[in-house]
Structure 1
């Protein structure tokens, strides 16, 4: 089953009537969508009890994609991350089987360096066997060495739009995770139905399609359109 989701679960007033009128914001969101991407974990830690509460608020089939903390990706720049990554996993453990992919988004300045990323990915895989996806933003990642390293650790590449590194034609198989940030104005611009359909046609049948153009409220509108199209 393809999961169509947004980054976070804010429901703008103009579409509020399309969701359940009962329960928390998350439970109302989950009355329509099968998954959500949690971005707040990038900025700060949450208590394990918070994740437990979120897990209880959604149906059994619902899944959470979770963004890896910036302490790991940005502050540490993927060096000496084992301890911080273990702490992150402990925090999110209450999600249990409702946990979806872990999203690792690297800063634009972080180049591909096998001496950095091989031990980082090894530490991550020693700690966790679940799905991991990575969104990179430095051109050095457009290399066969980078592809090979990601493949060896079973880490899926994210197809982002706009695509700073990996365009759609760079994927030999349907991408398992698509992040749509909006263009021409990132985080604000809305997508047309034709554009949404083209991304859905590209995506893996069991993959994720996440709308991150949340700043203007376009994400929910676009995700609702995607549900109708798919």
Structure 2
């Protein structure tokens, strides 16, 4: 059995304030994705929530990333915003049919981010989780679900996710509850409370706590994906690098 892998990253790679800060001065915009992919173990792609991408784009993104790197893909809003998630089957099929196979072994987990207003409905969530495909071509898929309502703090939900090996997102956010539950053979964290006045986004005590959590997931035999994505986004690369350094997995 392979040793657990910790992949730390940011959300996307196109953000103007990173130019001259994270990205070296003069770096061509066409090379920013490759620079970001070389710097981190994973990137969470947000644009897929809003629109489809072409097979050529997926292939280009795969080519820009080094071996061992993973893209986490935020699933389409057309799948997760409908009144009944149990009716999302066609949307899920269309989402995976847009060319994700072009990512090959760069394909990481799919993030299913639920509306802040969606409350826990046991039968609907069970039906939705049953719709999530186990494979895409010959690649086993990993799924992470991010509930953003307190009603999901429910043992019945945790059992549904555990039985289907779906990770419940560990979220550090000012507005949404952190529903902390280990339900899969991997972990997925979204850290969204960085502050611009802190050079590393999070202070040392917060980074130490995230480091300890990552080490605990590894000790439990879980791979983990940890994304620094919001709050003061300008600090996301610095925060991700600081956490990598703490864990001894610095890149770039």
TM-score in terms of structure 2 length: 0.80
CA distance in 2 between partners of 1:73 and 1:5 (Å): 24
CA distance in 1 between partners of 2:183 and 2:161 (Å): 14
Stretch moving more, 73-82 or 25-34 = 73-82
Q: How does 1:117-132 map to 2 (within 5 A)?
A: 117-125=125-133, 129-132=140-143
CA change 1:173–1:69 in 2 (3 A) is closer
CA change 1:51–1:60 in 2 (3 A) is same
Over residues 34-69 of structure 1, what are the superposed CA-to-partner deviations in whole Å (9 max), with x where a residue is unaligned?
Answer: 210001101111112111110011112111000011
Alpha-carbon offset, residue 12 of structure 1? 3.5
Alpha-carbon offset, residue 149 of structure 1? 0.9
Stretch moving more, 217-226 or 9-18 = 9-18
CA change 1:216–1:64 in 2 (3 A) is closer
- Tell me which residue corresponds to 2:58: 51
CA change 1:85–1:142 in 2 (3 A) is same
Match of 2:177 among 145, 158, 165: 165
- Contact kept, 8 Å, 1:102 with 1:133, in 2: the verdict is yes
Number of aligned residue pairs: give it. Answer: 226
- Tell me which residue corresponds to 1:86: 93
CA change 1:126–1:2 in 2 (3 A) is closer
Stretches of structure 2 lacking an aligned partner (at least 5 in a row):
248-252
- Contact kept, 8 Å, 1:9 with 1:26, in 2: the verdict is yes
- Tell me which residue corresponds to 2:12: 8
Alpha-carbon offset, residue 193 of structure 1? 2.8
CA distance in 2 between partners of 1:154 and 1:173 (Å): 4
CA change 1:153–1:202 in 2 (3 A) is same
Match of 1:219 among 228, 236, 244: 236
- Contact kept, 8 Å, 1:190 with 1:213, in 2: the verdict is no
Alpha-carbon offset, residue 86 of structure 1? 1.1
Q: How does 1:138-153 map to 2 (within 5 A)?
A: 138-153=149-164
Residue 102 in structure 1 maps to residue 143 in structure 2:
no
- Contact kept, 8 Å, 2:194 with 2:232, in 1: the verdict is no
